[in-house]
């Protein structure tokens, strides 16, 4: 069966999973050539084995809210592929979470983790529980109930979860604590832990910083730099805020930040004072609409994403999937955008990607550009197993090195005849080759 046929077969067998189909389609289109050139992959039905997760755990999570009412959510862990290392990937708590979204994320994670060159397979998990508006104690009870179901399936050499949307240091702390109690061990079974119990310096910053390092490498291919550039960023969570911090350190201006309620724009860039305020506001659950109350010169656009609101040279989507559609991409291009580097996973729709690539601007998919987060998780695992901690400088140095290597790999596998670097193809082909070859060597499993 050819790659295109495998895709239509998978769509038929797993209907009603649009995000999973979207992620499959992008990867299978990129690797079609390599796949069809290697008949042994077909003989071993490799592509289907690589697309279908190894296993999926789904379970009910029942917990008590502060009023004593019993609440029920769904919990999931998708163990996608462990050909090159233990299952590894974040946990997402958001009301939109369903099996299709987690399947797309676990699939993408497999290629991303392969690109980091560290020994990590791919996984993702989560729940349709939303931490927003919940008390710390409700979040703790939820995390404990979630782990009471999941703890048997994870472990330092089996499956190592981490954070994602709605899961940060607080949630990881509660989940790790309960895991430790149930498993009766103190091991590096989660990453993104607090510093006092095995966390790594720079892990909170790593996804945003890593994306900026990747962006610097892309710009360098066209003799450009971040300094003096206007950068539109979406989101105002972990990834968005550390991306903004690094962009400002590098001499760029951040012209937007957003949350699911709307966007705040600063056409000439946020001042340090404005940014520090937003950082603080978000640390205690504040909303973007509150920003103009403190700084009336900043405008809030309810229900809008940043892309059509403000001119930028660079866009760094850092909120969620499918947040740049074809129209947004057209607006960005019309306004002179020259580079898009994705902090979020799959934030651009296929139509949007097509627009960017047709315009031949620099465009890096999340699985390459945001790999710094999971790469630093890999560094946290390495420190945990040696029972030592590296300095912030050491971790940051390794992160820079990893991002630069990923960039080089994308160039090696993605450079087209006219010299245009197709980062989507580069990331997908390189990520695929390593996992595929490991699977071939290990037999049919
Ligand atoms: P956070 O929960 O810290 O922040 C998420 C941000 O995105 C918030 O501002 C949130 O707004 C906004 N957002 C979430 N969902 C939506 C939505 N459906 N529509 C509009 N805005 C939304 O998550 P992270 O910063 O960790 O994650 C952001 C993205 O980066 C995700 O795609 C994640 O998969 C990806 N990523 C994260 C990594 C990590 O290490 N954390 C690593 C690599 C990628 P609101 O507060 O209103 O919900
Ligand atoms: O999407 C991602 O790469 C993450 N949420 C981070 C995963 C991890 O294991 O650090």
Per residue in 146-156, pLDDT (tens digit) is 999 999 999 99
Q: Which atom of ligand 1 is nearest to the CA of 345?
A: 32
Q: Ligand 2 centroid to 102 CA: how many Å?
A: 12
Q: How far is the CA of 15 from the centre of ligand 2 (A)?
A: 26
For the record, the structure tokens of 107 come out as: 């699939």
Among 377, 343, 374, 370, which residue's Cα sits nearest to residue 201? 377
pLDDT digits (tens, 9 = 90+) for 55-104: 999 999 999 999 999 999 999 999 999 999 999 999 999 999 999 999 99
Paired strand residues for 123: 79
The pLDDT assigned to 1 comes to 66
d(CA 367, CA 386): 28
Residue among 11, 54, 155, 29 at smallest CA distance from 439:
54
What number is the average pLDDT over the span 269-297?
97
**Is 439 close to ligand 2, i.e. is its CB under 6 Å away?**
no
* Residues annotated as part of the active site: 124
User: pLDDT tens across 117-127, in order?
Assistant: 999 999 999 99
Q: How far is Cα 70 from Cα 62, in angstroms, rounded to an integer?
A: 7
User: What does the buried/exposed string (b/e) look like for 372-385 if buried means 16 or more CB atoms within 10 Å of the residue's CB?
Assistant: bbbbbbbbbbbbbe
pLDDT recorded at residue 184:
98
Alpha-carbon span 401 to 213, nearest angstrom:
9
Instruction: Supply the pTM of this predicted model.
Output: 0.98
CA distance 73 to 134: 14
pLDDT at 4: 85
- Kindly give the residue spans of alpha helices, DSSP state H, lying in 161-300: 169-183, 203-220, 238-249, 272-283, 291-294
d(CA 291, CA 97): 28
| Tens digit of each residue's pLDDT (9 = 90 or more) over 219-264 | 999 999 999 999 999 999 999 999 999 999 999 999 999 999 999 9
Show the tokens assigned to 252.
């760029």
Is residue 205 lining ligand 2, measured as CB closer than 6 Å? no
Helices 3-13 and 18-37: crossing angle, nearest 10°? 160
């Amino acid at each position: 069966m050819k790659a295109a046929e495998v895709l239509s077969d998978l769509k038929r067998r797993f209907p009603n999973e649009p995000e999973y189909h979207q992620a499959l389609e992008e990867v299978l289109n990129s690797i079609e050539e390599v796949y069809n050139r290697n008949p042994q992959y077909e003989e071993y039905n490799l592509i289907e084995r690589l697309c279908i997760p190894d296993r999926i755990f789904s379970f009910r999570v029942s917990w008590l809210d502060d009023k004593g009412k019993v609440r029920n959510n769904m919990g999931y862990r998708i163990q996608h592929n462990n050909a090159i290392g233990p299952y590894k990937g974040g946990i997402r708590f958001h009301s939109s979470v369903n099996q299709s979204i987690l399947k797309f994320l676990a699939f993408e994670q497999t290629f991303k983790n392969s690109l980091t060159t560290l020994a990590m397979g791919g996984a993702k998990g989560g729940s349709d529980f939303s931490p927003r508006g919940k008390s710390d104690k409700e979040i703790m009870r939820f995390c404990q109930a979630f782990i009471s179901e999941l703890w048997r399936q994870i472990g330092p050499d089996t499956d190592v979860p981490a954070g994602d949307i709605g899961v940060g240091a607080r949630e990881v702390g509660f989940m790790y604590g309960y895991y430790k109690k149930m498993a009766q061990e103190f091991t590096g079974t989660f990453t993104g832990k607090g510093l006092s119990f095995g966390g790594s310096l720079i892990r909170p910053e790593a996804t945003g910083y890593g994306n900026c390092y990747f962006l610097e490498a892309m710009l360098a291919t066209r003799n450009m730099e971040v300094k003096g550039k206007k950068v539109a960023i979406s989101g105002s969570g972990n990834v968005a805020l550390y991306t903004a911090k690094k962009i400002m350190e590098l001499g760029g201006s951040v012209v937007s930040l957003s949350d699911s309620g709307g966007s705040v724009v600063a056409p000439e860039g946020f001042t340090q004072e404005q940014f520090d305020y937003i950082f603080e506001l978000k640390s205690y659950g504040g909303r973007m609409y509150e920003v103009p109350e403190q700084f009336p010169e900043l405008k809030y656009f309810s229900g809008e994403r940043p892309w059509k609101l403000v001119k930028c040279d660079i866009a760094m989507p850092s909120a969620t999937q499918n947040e740049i559609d074809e129209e947004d991409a057209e607006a960005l291009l019309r306004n002179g955008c020259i580079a898009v580097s994705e902090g979020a996973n799959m934030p651009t729709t296929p139509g949007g990607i097509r627009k960017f690539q047709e315009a031949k601007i620099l465009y890096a998919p999340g699985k390459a550009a945001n790999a710094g987060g999971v790469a630093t998780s890999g560094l946290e695992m390495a420190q945990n197993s040696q029972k030592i901690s590296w300095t912030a400088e050491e971790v940051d140095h390794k992160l820079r090195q990893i991002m630069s290597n990923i960039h080089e790999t994308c160039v090696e596998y993605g450079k087209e005849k006219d010299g245009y670097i197709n980062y989507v193809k580069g990331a997908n082909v390189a990520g695929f080759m390593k996992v595929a070859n490991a699977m071939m060597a290990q037999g049919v499993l």
